[in-house]
């Protein structure tokens, strides 16, 4: 349910898209894909922080793609600027902070060459303790209508385990998207994950994907993804989320700590 007014903004209630994710999508030229993109790092099958048996991606620092029990307010846009506040209620009796989260986001996009975002995501555990904090920012530049370059930075930490496993990470991304012709497009991205508690851990991921549109709703694609895992960090070259390739990443060892991997994709997608 939502209420909207051009002068006062928009108020949305209930289950809805994660406000922070719209920022990730805007600045990830790979489109938050689960093949060589942002989704690889929040994959449940990925491992971080000193153990290859604990498959725990970065989703606790970003929230899921959709949130329930949410109140979200978006301001009107003024000269390209607008802001969002979203509160997810945990519905835990006697503790308003338990299992809750808060998001604050400021964006700039005046339909010119430059667009930017800055925001924070803070989540609490079921006991009301701070369990995940994410400070993020993105900056993009449209070279022309067909070429876009963009990047983002995130610092993700768990105040409840500062100095321990899964405690403090930096994630960097830089990418580009080029619509060569109305039918042919290519996108590429480079990602770097750093474990600020243990410098020997981390991962570097690079990917590229080309698409060819057969129609408005059908296109074919081909791509390659490469990941270099360091220390106790295990990122799969593809796969994102338990509903997708998590079982493969967990049971067949696609996300193996310290092991570098390559992946290739060829397929067709049809949207309904």
At 136-152, the pLDDT tens digits run 999 999 999 999 999 99
Q: Across-strand partners of 150?
A: 140, 175
**Burial category of 92 from C-beta neighbours within 10 Å (exposed 0-12, middle 13-18, buried 19 and up):** middle
Cα dihedral 150, 208, 154, 87, rounded to 10, equals 90
Structure tokens at 91: 């519905």
The string of pLDDT tens digits covering residues 159-214 is: 765 444 557 889 999 999 999 999 999 999 999 999 888 888 889 999 999 999 99
User: Which residue, among 196, 250, 195, 244, has the nearest Cα to 53 in the 3D structure?
Assistant: 250
First to last CA, the chain: 24
For domain 2-270, give the CATH number: 2.40.160.10
CA atoms within 13 A on the CB side of 65: 12
Task: Per-residue pLDDT tens, the chain, 272 aa: give them.
Answer: 778 888 899 999 999 988 888 888 889 999 878 788 888 887 666 666 544 344 566 777 887 788 889 999 999 999 999 999 999 998 888 788 888 999 999 999 999 999 999 999 998 887 777 778 899 999 999 999 999 999 999 998 877 654 445 578 899 999 999 999 999 999 999 999 998 888 888 899 999 999 999 999 999 999 999 999 888 788 888 865 443 333 334 444 466 778 888 889 999 999 88
What is the distance of C-alpha 199 from the center of its chain? 23
In this prediction the pTM is 0.86
- pLDDT at site 129: 77
């Amino acid at each position: 349910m939502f209420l909207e007014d051009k002068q006062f903004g928009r108020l949305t209630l209930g289950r809805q898209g994660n406000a922070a994710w719209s920022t990730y999508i805007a600045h990830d030229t790979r489109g938050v894909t689960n093949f060589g993109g942002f989704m690889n790092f929040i994959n449940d099958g990925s491992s971080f922080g000193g153990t290859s048996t604990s498959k725990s991606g970065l989703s606790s620092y970003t929230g899921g793609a959709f949130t329930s029990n949410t109140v979200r307010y978006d301001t009107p846009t003024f000269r390209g600027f607008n802001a969002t506040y979203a509160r997810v209620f945990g519905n835990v009796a006697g503790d308003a902070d338990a299992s809750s989260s808060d998001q604050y986001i400021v964006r700039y996009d005046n339909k010119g060459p430059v667009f930017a975002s800055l925001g924070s995501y803070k989540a609490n555990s079921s006991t009301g303790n701070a369990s995940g904090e994410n400070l993020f920012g993105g900056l993009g530049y449209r070279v022309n209508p067909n070429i876009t370059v963009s990047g983002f930075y995130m610092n993700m930490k768990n105040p409840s385990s500062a100095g321990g496993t899964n405690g403090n990470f930096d994630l960097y991304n830089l990418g580009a998207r080029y619509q060569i012709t109305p039918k042919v497009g290519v996108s590429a991205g480079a990602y770097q994950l750093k474990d600020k508690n243990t410098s020997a851990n981390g991962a570097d991921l690079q990917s590229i994907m080309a698409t060819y549109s057969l129609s408005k709703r059908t296109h074919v694609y081909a791509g390659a993804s490469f990941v270099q895992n360091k220390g106790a960090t295990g990122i799969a070259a593809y796969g994102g989320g338990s509903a997708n390739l998590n079982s493969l990443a967990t049971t067949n060892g696609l996300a193996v700590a310290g092991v570098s991997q390559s992946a290739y994709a060829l397929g067709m997608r049809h949207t309904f």
